[in-house]
Amino acid sequence: MTEALALALPEAAPARRARVPERLVATVLVAGLCLILVLILALPLGTLLIKSLEAPGGGFAGLSNFRTYFATPTLVEALVNSLAVAGITVAVVVPLAFAYAYALTRTAMRFRGVLLALALLPLFAPSLLSGIALTYILGNQGFLRGLLLGHSVYGPIGIVIAECLYAFPHALIILMTALALSDARLYEAAAAMGTGRLRTFATVTLPGARYGLVSAAFVVFTLVVTDFGIPKVIGGQYPVLATDAYRQVVGQQIFPMGAVVGLLMLAPAVLAFCVDRLIRRRQSALLSARSVPYEAKPHPVRDGLSLAYAGLVAGLIVATYGVAVWASFIRYWPYNLGLTLDHYDFAAADSDGWTPYGNSLVMAGAVAVLGTGLVFCGAYLIEKLKVFSAGRAVAQLLAMLPLAVPGLVLGLGYVFFFNAPWNPLNVLYGTLALLVINTVAHYYTVAHVTATTALKQIDPEFEAVSASLKVPFWQTFRRVSLPICLPTVLELAVYLFVNAMTTVSAVIFLYGSGTKLAAIAIVHMDEAGTTASAAAMASVIMATALGARLVLALVNRFVLARAQVWRRREGTA
């Protein structure tokens, strides 16, 4: 240090402004967050619960609705069907996805990046699209219907195949995460002791991925039980819980029975949620800070077989969705295979024309902007401010709740809560605003967890340093936390946008005459028999969702990389 410097540091003019009561502001914000979450989550779900105990004509009925449900064979049949379809899907998808995840994470096969991207394709389309594609491939006019040996695709067969396609990326992501959490040292230790490949797989790989397998099974099961789109399109006369709930509420207006079905769907989801929580706690303990990530060495035979398998699976996924897109350009399947854009003139198939797509864009845009703002600010309040800990705990609990609540159940709750005559908020019913609110609530948890993870990686002492420098937390949020988390914020916005574009299950109960969404238009066009237009609309949605993802990739690559020079040496620091 420079010795010569004269060091009577002058007092840096403490021209203090009247101090804003920081703690008060923070407390009010946390309370506001709690209020919002109660309004958009707790109250609708509470109403659903109460509704299930109500007699059809009003008044308290206790558990009699449940008794009626289980005494009605047709209703119980839907329950059994749902469980059977979900069980079979789990049995098929989880092993397939595990092998795929293994090929991606534990082998040195080529094209891993491309194969991962292709397998994630179903995430960008409404679930119905796989059902629509199957009608073209295996349906009455399908070019491969001979493969079914005379069985109809409309029913359990079609549902299971379509659900497998739809659920595959969800299982894949979970299993890849589980397999990526592996310690190379364990493999080196096993090899040093002369352990064979099979034994290593059974004693090191499988135990490490065990929790991931359980978690994937539960997630797939829940997805299938609560999915509405696929059974609607390809289920034929085969009743399942999701279509039953829709029929009870929208068709027959028997609200309490709809609530009962909704609660039945909630059961596996809540169970999955609890198991997942339990697993996560243990999984984290598996990997210590000293672990070294596993990197596969080239092994020609294994890598070749992996590539063949992964190529086949990815090919099937892409081909199925490709058929749906292709079919949307076909004049008259399968008799006139000439190409046309006629099916994209939606006005011919549905009186609303392109309006639903416009609605979807506005809705998804609003969800992306408002949802990201709410989720990120909420996560910041919960994670970084040390005030009003009871309020923060409540907010955290509510933020995790949507993960256990299928969209259809949340949608039912919204119907009962926001359509109730006693509720002053019922003016929102049928408006685009309510669709936005519902979609934000529906996808809150994943976004919240992502935001929280990013915020946790920021030094927890930033707020303390700011306080010591007399800088209020909102300035630190604006100048430091938000810029650091910008990539995550953009990621959240795209996640919310894509899901808002593709979701059907919750919003199907909530749209109004002028606020029909594109994904709902698909259901209607498919119902009306204009399947090609349905496929066309689904293709437009998929293209939009993929476009959003592409824009994000470009922004990350060219804008953020340049603007955020300070990240560059982060790896070595």
The yes or no reply on residue 35 touching other proteins (CB under 8 A) is no
The yes or no reply on residue 223 touching other proteins (CB under 8 A) is no
Which one of 128-136, 224-232, 270-278, 462-470 is the stretch in contact with other proteins (CB under 8 A)? 462-470
The yes or no reply on residue 14 touching other proteins (CB under 8 A) is yes
The yes or no reply on residue 188 touching other proteins (CB under 8 A) is no
The yes or no reply on residue 465 touching other proteins (CB under 8 A) is yes
Among 39, 61, 92, 471, binds other proteins (CB under 8 A): 471
Quote the CA–CA distance of 465 and 461 in Å, as a whole number: 6
Quote the CA–CA distance of 346 and 336 in Å, as a whole number: 20
Q: Which is nearer to other proteins, 61 or 467 (CB)?
A: 467
Which helix (DSSP H) or strand (DSSP E) does residue 338 occupy? strand 336-339
The yes or no reply on residue 1 touching other proteins (CB under 8 A) is yes
Range 476-505, binding other proteins (CB under 8 A): 479-480, 483-484
Q: Which is nearer to other proteins, 23 or 199 (CB)?
A: 23
The yes or no reply on residue 464 touching other proteins (CB under 8 A) is yes
Which one of 47-55, 191-199, 210-218, 562-570 is the stretch in contact with other proteins (CB under 8 A)? 562-570
* The amino acid at 255: F
Strand partners, 332: 336
Quote the CA–CA distance of 240 and 233 in Å, as a whole number: 12
Measured in whole angstroms, the distance separating CA 265 from the mean position of its chain's CA atoms is 17
Among 390, 461, 513, 562, binds other proteins (CB under 8 A): 461
Rounded least distance, CB 388 to other proteins, Å: 13
The yes or no reply on residue 2 touching other proteins (CB under 8 A) is yes
Rounded least distance, CB 19 to other proteins, Å: 7
16: Cβ contacts below 8 Å, ≥ 6 apart = 470
Nearest Cα neighbor of 132 from 536, 407, 541 is 536
Quote the CA–CA distance of 160 and 81 in Å, as a whole number: 11
89: Cβ contacts below 8 Å, ≥ 6 apart = 160, 163, 164, 167, 220, 221, 224
Q: Which is nearer to other proteins, 49 or 467 (CB)?
A: 467
The yes or no reply on residue 562 touching other proteins (CB under 8 A) is no
Geometric angle at alpha carbon 443, from 442 and 449, rounded to 5°: 135
Per-residue binding string, other proteins, 331-370, x by CB under 8 A, is ----------------------------------------
Geometric angle at alpha carbon 274, from 202 and 217, rounded to 5°: 45
Among 370, 467, 546, 555, binds other proteins (CB under 8 A): 467
Which one of 268-276, 310-318, 426-434, 559-567 is the stretch in contact with other proteins (CB under 8 A)? 559-567
Quote the CA–CA distance of 373 and 367 in Å, as a whole number: 9
The yes or no reply on residue 475 touching other proteins (CB under 8 A) is yes
Strand partners, 127: none
The yes or no reply on residue 564 touching other proteins (CB under 8 A) is yes
How far CA 312 is from CA of 124, 125, 391, 437, 506, in Å, comes to: 20, 21, 51, 40, 34
Q: Which is nearer to other proteins, 341 or 573 (CB)?
A: 573
The yes or no reply on residue 295 touching other proteins (CB under 8 A) is no
Determine the size of the site formed for other proteins (CB under 8 A). Answer: 43
Nearest Cα neighbor of 128 from 519, 473, 562, 410 is 519
Geometric angle at alpha carbon 202, from 199 and 205, rounded to 5°: 115
Q: Which is nearer to other proteins, 14 or 421 (CB)?
A: 14
Q: Which is nearer to other proteins, 134 or 454 (CB)?
A: 454
Quote the CA–CA distance of 514 and 40 in Å, as a whole number: 22
Q: Which is nearer to other proteins, 188 or 459 (CB)?
A: 459
The yes or no reply on residue 573 touching other proteins (CB under 8 A) is yes
Per-residue binding string, other proteins, 15-34, x by CB under 8 A, is xxx-x--xx-----------
Q: Which is nearer to other proteins, 337 or 465 (CB)?
A: 465
Query: For the chain, how far is it from start to end, CA to CA, in angstroms?
Result: 24
Among 74, 140, 351, 468, binds other proteins (CB under 8 A): 468
Q: Which is nearer to other proteins, 190 or 454 (CB)?
A: 454
Quote the CA–CA distance of 143 and 337 in Å, as a whole number: 12
Structure tokens at 91: 């049995």
Per-residue binding string, other proteins, 374-403, x by CB under 8 A, is ------------x-----------------
The yes or no reply on residue 569 touching other proteins (CB under 8 A) is yes
Among 5, 18, 71, 198, binds other proteins (CB under 8 A): 5
Q: Which is nearer to other proteins, 456 or 470 (CB)?
A: 470
Angular region, 307: left φ>0, alpha ψ -120 to 50, beta rest: alpha
- Print burial letters for 195-204: b (CB count within 10 Å at least 16), e (below 16): beeeebeeeb
The yes or no reply on residue 466 touching other proteins (CB under 8 A) is yes
Which one of 81-89, 158-166, 204-212, 465-473 is the stretch in contact with other proteins (CB under 8 A)? 465-473
Rounded least distance, CB 467 to other proteins, Å: 4
Q: Which is nearer to other proteins, 17 or 297 (CB)?
A: 17
Inter-helix orientation angle 444-456/432-442, to 10°: 50
Which one of 148-156, 165-173, 466-474, 531-539 is the stretch in contact with other proteins (CB under 8 A)? 466-474
Rounded least distance, CB 285 to other proteins, Å: 21
Which one of 265-273, 334-342, 352-360, 470-478 is the stretch in contact with other proteins (CB under 8 A)? 470-478
* Per-position DSSP letters for 400-456, written without gaps between them: HGGGGS-HHHHHHHHHHHHT-TT-GGGGGTBSHHHHHHHHHHHTHHHHHHHHHHHHH
Which contacts (CB < 8 Å, 24+ apart) does range 482-486 have? 482/376, 483/564, 484/458, 485/376, 485/451, 485/454, 485/455, 485/458, 486/560, 486/564
Give the residues lining the site for other proteins (CB under 8 A). Answer: 1-2, 5, 7, 9-17, 19, 22-23, 386, 459, 461-462, 464-472, 475, 479-480, 483-484, 564-570, 572-573
